[in-house]
Amino acid sequence: MTAPVLDDRELQYLRHLAAGHTRTRTATDMNLSPATVDRIAASVRHKLGANSAPNAIHIAHRRGLLAPPRHGDHIGYRRHQRRGEPACAACLAGEREYSARRRTTDHTDTTRSAA
């Protein structure tokens, strides 16, 4: 079972929440009513399986939803996957390079000698 994907508005709400903004400030910054922000908050908590706002922030950080963008390597590729979106070209290339490097270094550790 895959995790539900958050839309842009829900991610924007999460960034406000993580920054410690109030519901009123979030509503003002997002040009929404406080009631709409409350509905978005409930949707985010439901999709993440969180039981509170701090728990939603914790889960979002753990899933890489609030992490700073990183592109062109294995970690950037994995973050695209966690967000449920197709990886950008730079991240695909970085993932191919990472996989190739792992294939050549796995099981080739010759620094240990047999006892």
The per-residue pLDDT for range 10-63, each reduced to its tens digit, is 999 999 999 899 999 999 999 999 999 999 999 999 999 999 999 999 999 888
pTM: 0.58
pLDDT at 72: 78
Residue ranges and CATH numbers for the domains of the chain are: 8-62 (1.10.10.10), 74-105 (no CATH)
- What is the CB neighbour count within 10 angstroms for residue 82? 14
pLDDT at 38: 97
pLDDT band at 107 (very low <50, low <70, confident <90, very high): low
- DSSP states of 53-114 as a string? HHHHHHHHHHTTSSSPP--SSHHHHHHHHHHTSPPPHHHHHHHHHHHHHHHHHTT---SS--
Longest Cα pair distance anywhere in the chain, in angstroms? Answer: 70
pLDDT band at 84 (very low <50, low <70, confident <90, very high): confident
